[in-house]
Amino acid sequence: MSDQVLVYGVGIAGMATIRALMQRGIDFIAVDDHLSETQRRALADIDVVAIELPDDILLKKLIADSACVAPAPGIAEHHRVIIESLRQGKEIKTELDLAYEWESGRSGGARPIVTVTGTDGKTSTVLLTQAMLAASGRRPIACGNTEIPMVEALDMDVDTFVVEATSFRLAFVESFRSQASAWLNLAPDHLDWHTSMETYEAAKARLWRNLSTTDTAIGFAGDATVMRHLRNVQARQIVVAEQSGHGDYFCRDGKLFGPFGEITDAAAMYRSLPHDISNALVACALCHETGLGELSAMKAVLQTFVAPHHRIEFVAQAQGVSWFDDSKATSPHAALTALRGFDSVVLIAGGRNKGLDLSAMAREPKRMKGVVAIGESADVIARAFHGVCPVVFADSMNAAVSAALSLATAGDTVLLSPGCTSLDWYSGYAERGDDFVRCLKEALESNVPRTQSNGVTS
């Protein structure tokens, strides 16, 4: 056996891993189930030839001849390369493990790492934390499950890593650890990648497996599973809660507090839905408990920070109806989080299900004014809301917007929060959200003489 690394999957993370291995003079072989033309060109640019869809005999040999296997995040735990690697007792190294081990051996010492995981809210919390650290005078980078894998971020001019850790990246970690790491929540999701809810939970729990007594583990009091794992962590335990008396960071009388006192008034935040407040408290905990962030910077950022697109994003208001794009909500848990921010909702929901129980989306019946069911899961959505509120079907986004217009009246919120992926109609959630905004704009321009869009009256 050689020191070769078998890189399986040459998407964004796989290509970043290949470049990092090349830079460090480590032998590797690249493999993928299917190479797109874009991937072929990217490989050709660095003089790498990848093996495409090896048969079982060749795959077994490739694994046997390698020191370890580095699967891309898209390689599910039931993929044959994972199954065969485990059968052979081969070490599986995710990009987080590779990055952590290389960073640990860095000349001058490792730089601080803070990490966020959870079913929902990871990206917003990571970007909020990054903004707070930058405002405190540091040079942070948001990496991991972002456009920049951590193995790529290692070579950037940064002094702090803010890592978004999905279960895909955590599922096989053995060495990765952070000075502070937060677990936001756990709900059924990604059951097309994981073999069960149990393995999904176990993957998330690996975030805390290597912490030392000087590290900090941050958990959300509102999630019983998170708190169960937090109690067993051999590290400083910090609890974020929705109200005082239940945590170290909490909200009371409309104000955000930490163990050091008041942080800011929730009313001063750019947006202060319940999940915005809990995400903000987690970000403050990550910054303060590590000593990396300053209170004045945290407060200033909370007053200006805007969540990324397609995450309960205000689009327009017309005739007293508010419209929000939450296309990123691809699970029932995410859709419920959005629903709980409003009192009277016309929900646009459906798409391609990930093997999840969509009936969970109907757990807030008092908030429901109506539902527009779309996509492959339209019938399932309709059954979930049967007897809860009126349900209409739409076979396109234009039709969905038109149906929502007919259901909503002044004081209502129309919310695109599908609870499913977009891959039946679109290439991704961003394209779905953009199409929703386009269809809404066209509908309002033809039907409404005066609208407010993204806070600007036109």
Domain extents in the chain? 5-93, 97-302, 313-457
- The gap from C-alpha 325 to its chain's centroid, in whole angstroms, comes to 16
CATH of domain 313-457: 3.90.190.20
Q: What's domain 97-302's architecture?
A: 3-Layer(aba) Sandwich (3.40)
Asked if 312 and 273 touch (Cβ cutoff 8 Å), the reply is yes
> Which two tokens mark 82?
């994972």
- Report pTM: 0.87
Q: What is the pLDDT along the chain (458 residues), one digit of tens a residue?
A: 578 999 999 999 999 999 999 999 999 999 999 999 999 999 999 999 999 999 999 999 999 999 999 999 999 999 999 999 999 999 999 999 999 999 999 998 999 999 999 999 999 999 999 999 999 999 999 999 999 999 999 999 999 999 999 999 999 999 999 999 999 999 999 888 999 999 999 999 999 999 999 999 999 999 999 999 999 999 999 999 987 778 999 999 999 999 999 999 999 998 888 899 999 999 999 999 999 999 999 999 999 998 889 999 999 999 999 999 999 999 999 999 999 999 999 999 999 998 899 999 999 999 999 999 999 999 999 999 999 999 999 999 999 999 999 999 999 999 999 999 999 999 999 999 999 999 999 999 987 443 444 432 22
Same fold flag, 5-93 and 97-302:
no
- pLDDT for the residue numbered 245: 72
* DSSP-assigned states of every residue in 134-172: HHTT--EEEEESSSS-HHHHTTSS-SEEEEE--HHHHTT
Predicted local confidence at residue 450, as pLDDT: 39
| Helix-then-strand count for the chain, H and E | 16, 22
With a CB cutoff of 8 Å and minimum separation 6, the contacts of 130 are: 140, 141, 142, 162
The whole-number pLDDT of residue 307 equals 87
Q: Supply the DSSP symbol for 364.
A: -
Into which CATH architecture does domain 5-93 fall?
3-Layer(aba) Sandwich (3.40)
Determine whether 398 is exposed, middle or buried from the number of CB atoms within 10 Å of its CB (0-12, 13-18, 19+): middle
* Phi-psi category of residue 9: left, alpha or beta, with phi > 0 → left and psi -120 to 50 → alpha: left
Tell me which DSSP letter residue 361 carries: G
Cβ atoms of residues 373 and 399 within 8 Å: no
Query: Which pair of structure tokens corresponds to residue 48?
Result: 């790498």
Of 168, 3, 209, the C-alpha closest to 91 is 3
